[in-house]
């Protein structure tokens, strides 16, 4: 069964069905290995269409699931924690001070986790080959016991679940094709959200697509010399997304959350090093790639301590040129609500957020897709509340707690008829 037909039968919206069709087309084009130059370009165009998105969508997508990006225990950082310094990072979520991304025994990365059913994505009729050692891999990915049990119970079967099998195969195939490819300057879209009426198999389907690629990803890490502390922290995004999915939607699985970061991590484009995660991306101009950047993300795994943050960025600047010597770094880029200068009206000058802002040159504000785009992001990521579909009403604001500086600032700012914004910061390497 082709992925478009499977998506249609399962009730996905037309745009998701089209995207799955592009994934199938990319796989078919790659398999065909057409010899003619014109046909080769045609195949390349089809492959590119499966992963490209307009640049204007990038900032909108970057943080859509960041609140579920990490946290093996699904602990969400409080706004009060973000506004004050702290001395340590939760060791359960990665390296702490003094051990940020330090090289270790690369040969030990994921030792024993390759499994004998790693395989790859087969042709039509076979599809993805799921790992035989799934339970062990889930432990390695920081998945909590409850989620591990439920996901194993919802293991898909090609004959029993042909539609979900086709979609898992399409997504796993896209990861395999794009292995080690950086985020293009044109952006990247999140994986489609599954219909709310989906079965347990559907709710866990995307997690199986990610898990199928773990052994191959760990082999890439080993070959690149990535230490196991970084590998574990990086794939730990899977456990974090599961915990946040349960917290936000009240259901187990990962399917209702738009997955932006995890697919990048499981194809070798994004790594977690200490306090931050970093996405390999291109500095692009109209006529092609002009350089290489690391996109900085701020997972909600603890206080945004300035010292720990700077250790993380310094480690990335040192390690990525070792892992990817063919990608000389220009610097860092960070699209985030944390970089909105308006926050200076409400936070003390020595707060963690404003200290973080001062490390970047903030670019001019571009017109947002909607006036309340930044409001939604700050509400979701800083206040950990589910935003409404459109503009916030007076009743929406009345329901927001007023216990922290950011909560009070958010409500006051919007009551004055103003909005918060996603801003983009650049930081050039010294």
Summarize pLDDT for 293-309 with one digit per residue, the tens. Answer: 999 999 877 789 999 99
CA distance 50 to 336: 26
- 37: tokens are 């130059």
Residue with the larger pLDDT of the pair 352 and 54: 352
Using the predicted structure, report yes or no on whether residue 66 has a pLDDT greater than 80. Answer: no
What confidence tier does 126 reach under pLDDT thresholds 50, 70, 90? low
- What confidence score (pLDDT) does residue 41 get? 43
CA distance 121 to 134: 16
User: Among all chains, which residue has been given the structure tokens 């000058």?
Assistant: 349
CA distance 376 to 380: 6
- What confidence score (pLDDT) does residue 396 get? 92
Q: How many CA atoms lie within 13 A of 240 on its CB side?
A: 27
User: Among all chains, which residue has been given the structure tokens 């699985």?
Assistant: 253
Using the predicted structure, report yes or no on whether residue 67 has a pLDDT greater than 90. Answer: no
CA distance 174 to 190: 13
Length of the chain: 430
Helix (H) or strand (E) holding 224: helix 214-224
The sign of the CA dihedral 191, 195, 197, 202 is negative
CA distance 267 to 173: 11
- What confidence score (pLDDT) does residue 82 get? 31
CA distance 161 to 130: 14
What confidence tier does 95 reach under pLDDT thresholds 50, 70, 90? very low
- Report the share of the chain in percent with pLDDT over 70: 78
CA distance 282 to 324: 13
Beta strands in 18-66 (DSSP E): none
Question: How would you label 72-104 residue by residue, b for 16+ Cβ within 10 Å and e otherwise?
Answer: bebbbbbbebbbeeeeebbebbbbbeebbbeeb
The reply to whether the predicted model has a pTM over 0.95 is no
Query: Looking at residue 338, what DSSP letter applies?
Result: G
CA distance 374 to 419: 7
Q: In what order do the strands lie in the sheet with 361-362?
A: 270-273, 276-285, 288-297, 329-336, 423-428, 361-362
- What confidence score (pLDDT) does residue 347 get? 92
Beta strands in 231-275 (DSSP E): 270-273
Q: Pick left, alpha or beta for residue 142 (phi over 0 → left; psi -120 to 50 → alpha; otherwise beta).
A: left
């Amino acid at each position: 069964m082709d992925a478009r037909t499977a998506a249609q039968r399962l009730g996905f919206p037309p745009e998701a069905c089209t995207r799955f069709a592009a994934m199938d087309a990319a796989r078919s084009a790659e398999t065909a290995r057409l010899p003619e130059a014109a046909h080769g370009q045609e195949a390349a165009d089809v492959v590119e269409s499966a992963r490209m998105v307009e640049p204007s969508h990038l900032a909108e997508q970057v943080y859509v699931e960041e609140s579920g990006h990490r946290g093996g225990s699904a602990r969400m950082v409080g706004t009060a924690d973000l506004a004050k310094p702290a001395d340590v990072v939760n060791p359960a979520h990665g390296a702490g001070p003094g051990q940020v991304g330090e090289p270790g025994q690369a040969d030990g990365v994921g030792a024993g986790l390759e499994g004998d059913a790693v395989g790859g994505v087969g042709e039509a009729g076979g599809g993805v080959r799921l790992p035989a050692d799934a339970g062990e891999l889930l432990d390695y990915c920081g998945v909590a016991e409850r989620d591990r049990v439920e996901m194993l119970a919802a293991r898909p079967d090609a004959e029993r679940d042909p539609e979900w099998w086709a979609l898992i195969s399409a997504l796993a195939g896209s990861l395999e094709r794009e292995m080690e490819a950086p985020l293009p300057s044109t952006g990247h879209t999140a994986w489609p959200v599954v219909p709310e009426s989906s079965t347990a198999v559907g709710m866990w389907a995307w997690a199986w697509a990610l898990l199928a690629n773990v052994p191959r990803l760990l082999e890439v890490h080993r070959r690149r010399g990535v230490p196991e502390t970084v590998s574990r922290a990086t794939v730990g995004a899977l456990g974090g997304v599961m915990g946040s999915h349960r917290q936000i939607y009240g259901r187990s699985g990962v399917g209702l959350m738009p997955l932006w970061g995890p697919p990048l991590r499981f194809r070798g484009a994004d790594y977690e090093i200490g306090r931050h995660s970093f996405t390999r991306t291109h500095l692009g101009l109209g006529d092609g790639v002009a350089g290489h950047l690391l996109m900085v993300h701020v997972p909600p795994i603890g206080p945004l301590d300035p010292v720990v943050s700077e250790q993380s960025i310094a480690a990335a600047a040192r390690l990525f040129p070792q892992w990817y010597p063919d990608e000389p770094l220009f610097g860092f880029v960070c699209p985030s609500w944390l970089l909105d200068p308006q926050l200076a009206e409400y936070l003390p000058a020595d707060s963690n957020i404003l200290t973080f802002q001062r490390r970047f040159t903030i670019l001019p504000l571009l017109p947002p897709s909607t006036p309340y785009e930044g409001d939604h992001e700050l509400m979701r990521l800083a206040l950990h509340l589910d935003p409404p579909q459109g503009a916030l009403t007076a009743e929406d604001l009345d329901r927001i707690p007023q216990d922290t500086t950011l909560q009070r600032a958010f409500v006051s700012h919007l009551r004055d008829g103003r909005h918060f914004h996603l801003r983009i910061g650049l930081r050039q390497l010294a």
